Structure 1
Amino acid sequence: MSTTPIIQFGTSRFLQAHVDLFLSEATDPLGGIAVVQSSGNAQRAGRLNALAATGGYPVHIRGRQGGRIVDETRRVRSITRAFSSASDWAEICRIAVEEAQIILSNTSDAGFRPSPADKGAVFDQAMSYPAKLTQLLYARYQRNPRPIQVMPTELVARNGDTLRDLVMTLANARSAEFAQWIASDVTFVNSLVDRIVSEPIEPAGAVAEPYALWAIEDCKGLLLPCTHPAIKVVPSLEPVETRKLFLLNLGHSYLVDGWISRGRAGAATVRDLMDSPDILQDLQSLYRNEVVPGFAAADTREEAELYVRDVLDRFANPFLAHQLQDIAQNHREKVSRRIGAFIDWAAQKGCTAPMPRLRNTVQTMRSTG
């Protein structure tokens, strides 16, 4: 069996239609992916088998791009092996020690949250992803201490730095020498992903919009898993991250908050909401009067207005059924990170816009907590 230089934690439809698709389409991939289902959910065994099937799995790209309709299916064949951390930890560990050059992840919005099991010295399925990663790095350090790169794609600001700090805390509890090896030989890369992946295809696959971005912050010794038009190496993630988080993601959470306040009635998808003139006008007004002024204070009004235009087109994509109930998962955390954080960021930039709707959204969430 061929080696797999990339270990991927997470089997979400997002990764299937983003990173995994890019590697499948690239002419220069680093190699195959060994995907790890970190939840240990035995009911998803069918997905694991389908992800690594010889013929690959489908990704249906549907929407508008460059003024034309895109409606096509692509096959993804980059995943060559699939494992569950609950039953295959020994083999996952072996690959991390002997084969891996990059460890990727997308473990949901709450994936970095600590678990009581994290303090254990030996692997426990109940561990958080940072603790599982620390276990793999410790095995690498002990048996084959070559440099390795870690590339989280979770939607967390400075995700590489954040993950490194969590791992370093756990590593220091083991030994100063192990922590020093991580500091010198493990590269944690900050990146940001952007693609709406609206529907799963069973048992594996997804429906996604044409727009896709994987912005990767340049750093010393950066190793790209492949080259692809959607992969952009940038000197700083801050401008890209700010636009995505405070325009697209903020818009999603604002729409969902209104949907929840209306009793989750009258709509099932983002597209359904965009079909309502009142909701569309409210969102346009929110961007114009409460959000763009924050970017204007940061001297990036033009970029923000162009991105808002793209966002509204993406929200209204006639092909995508972007489920509101999916966006509503971890809603409280998302409101804090997307809307509450935007209000604070805009104030730091000197914005004096009152932002009544955004502030009310945050206040309501806090008062119902």
Structure 2
Amino acid sequence: MILQFGTGNFLRGFTDLFADELGIGPIVAVQSTEGDRGALLNKAGGRYHVAIQGIADGRVVDETVEVNSIARALFAASEWGQVVATALEPGLTAIVSNTTESGFALEAADTKCGPGAPMSFPAKLLAVLVARCKASLPAPWIVPCELVEGNGDRLKDLVLAQAARWELAGEIPHWIERECRWVNTLVDRIVPGPPSQHPLLGIDPLLIMAEPFALWAIETADCDFPFAGHQAVVLTPDITRYSLRKIRILNGAHTALVCRALGSGLGTVRQCLDDPEVGGWLEELLFEEVLPVLEGRCDDPARFAREVLDRFRNPFLEHRLASIALNHEAKIATRLLPTLREYRERFGHAPPRLAALLGSDS
């Protein structure tokens, strides 16, 4: 059994789909926010569809799969007792979450552990772990999917900080820190919501679209990770090899396109790739200036770059440059400038395309 905090599109097109493909679960999903998604899941018996749409290995993919891994959805505010009861299932192996970056914070209102649902996600997680520890049940995997660097370590620190606020002492904090199997993760898949056109749109209110590409990097050497058998899952002792690759190639390419093409009449990533001049320029930038500084530091950066170009050409997605341009200067600082600096240090001169793009040849 898997306890999942979150009922959103991403988890349903990622972990829940993987669980269905592996035949593991069932999953009990906890909804902590407003909305009718949990009610829709229960009405459908947990059944929904995912349209896998995009380009993989140079060919168009357009297929639909049915997902049945979610047994039921619970509402934290009104069904907290059932959430705790799920955490007390002897067969529970993992607690998965995607509460977004904003979920990684404590709430001043969580002053004590009572019978109702705590406010913050770390406090909710602590409450179910305390119950499981007191029942002398096996410690689960804690698998955050939030896009936070070092998400497992960060979440563990928040849970232990909440435990200190609740003045928990003795065995419980030790069990949480030492016995529970916290992992840092990196997730990579675009799950934007329902497809724009699909025959099931008027039939399945939970229908979502996901691109073919999927990667779930887990920082662990333990092969008994519940999702270890899935083709998208990579177990690694050092997750930075995957996060560096994603930041410099995928995210870096996005930001480079904003620098190069925003305001030129090309409004989306796909339009940029379809433009002979800009598309060719981006490919040269990746393979001649970005990849040379990543060799030996990442897992097969050339293959990943080719996959990124396929993903950017996805005819089912409209990823607007204006959206990518938010917080543009900060993104340049983390996605492009380190590549420029490392290239110059390694080869003795600045990479010409990046230098021209950023207005620097030093």
Shorter-normalised TM range: 0.7 to 0.9
**In the superposition, relative to structure 1, how do residues 237 and 117 fare at CA in structure 2: closer, same or farther (>3 Å)?**
same
C-alpha root-mean-square deviation of aligned residues, in Å? 3.5
Q: 302, 316, 324: which is aligned to 1:319?
A: 316
Residue identity opposite 1:22 in structure 2: F
1:96 to 77, 87, 101: 87
Aligned pairs for 1:107-256 (under 5 A) are: 107-118=99-110, 120-122=112-114, 127-173=119-165, 174-177=167-170, 178-200=172-194, 203-220=205-222, 222-225=224-227, 227-255=229-257
- Tell me which residue corresponds to 1:363: none
| Ranges in structure 2 where 5+ consecutive residues have no aligned partner | 196-200
Q: Please give the alpha-carbon distance, in whole angstroms, between the structure 2 residues aligned to 1:163 and 1:338.
A: 27
Counterpart-to-counterpart distance in 2, 1:16 and 1:78: 9
Structure 1 unaligned blocks of 5 or more? 361-369
Residue 69 (structure 1) aligns with: 60
Q: Which has the larger radius of gyration?
A: 2
1:7 aligns with 2:3: yes
Q: 2:143 and 2:38 mapped to 1: Cα distance?
A: 21
Question: Structure 2 vs 1, CA of residues 326 and 342 (structure 1 numbering), >3 Å: closer, same or farther?
Answer: closer
**1:251: Cα distance to partner?**
2.9
TM (normalized to structure 1)? 0.77
Q: Secondary structure at the match of 2:101?
A: coil
Counterpart Cα distance in 1 of 2:82 and 2:304: 44
Q: Secondary structure at the match of 2:181?
A: strand
Paired residue for 1:365?
A: none
Q: What is the rounded CA distance, in whole Å, between the counterparts of 1:284 and 1:123 in structure 2? A: 56
Q: Is the 8 A contact 2:293 2:342 kept in 1?
A: no
> What fraction of aligned residue pairs are identical, expressed as a percent?
37
CA 1:274–1:166 in 2, change beyond 3 Å: closer, same or farther? same
Aligned equivalents of 1:221 and 1:348: distance in 2? Answer: 35
Does 207-216 or 285-294 show the bigger shift? Answer: 285-294
Could you list the per-position Cα deviations for residues 277-320 of structure 1 after superposition, in whole angstroms to 9, with x for gaps in the alignment? 56535544653566335425xx4589333322221121111223
1:293–1:301 contact (8 Å) kept in structure 2: no
CA contact (8 A) 2:340 2:355 kept: no
Per the TM alignment, residue 23 of structure 1 is displaced from its structure 2 partner at its CA by 1.0
TM-score, with structure 2 as normaliser: 0.79
The structure-2 alpha-carbon separation of the partners of 1:94 and 1:124, relative to structure 1 and needing over 3 Å to count, comes to closer
Q: Which amino acid aligns with 2:315?
A: P
What is the number of equivalent residue pairs in this alignment?
A: 342
Instruction: Answer yes or no: is 1:59 the counterpart of 2:77.
Output: no
Note closer, same or farther for the CA distance 1:83–1:340 as it changes in structure 2 (3 Å cut): same
* Distance in structure 2 (CA, Å) of the matches to 1:310 and 1:221: 26
Partners of 1:358 and 1:131 lie apart in 2 by: 46
Cα distance per residue 1:106-145 (max 9 Å; x no partner): 1223331444345554488683322321222122223444
Indicate how the Cα distance of structure 1 residues 325 and 248 shifts in structure 2: closer, same or farther if over 3 A, else same: same
Matches of 2:120 and 2:255 in 1, distance apart?
26
- In the alignment, the residues of structure 2 paired with residue 190 and residue 159 of structure 1 have an alpha-carbon distance, to the nearest angstrom, of 5
Residue 198 of structure 2 corresponds to none
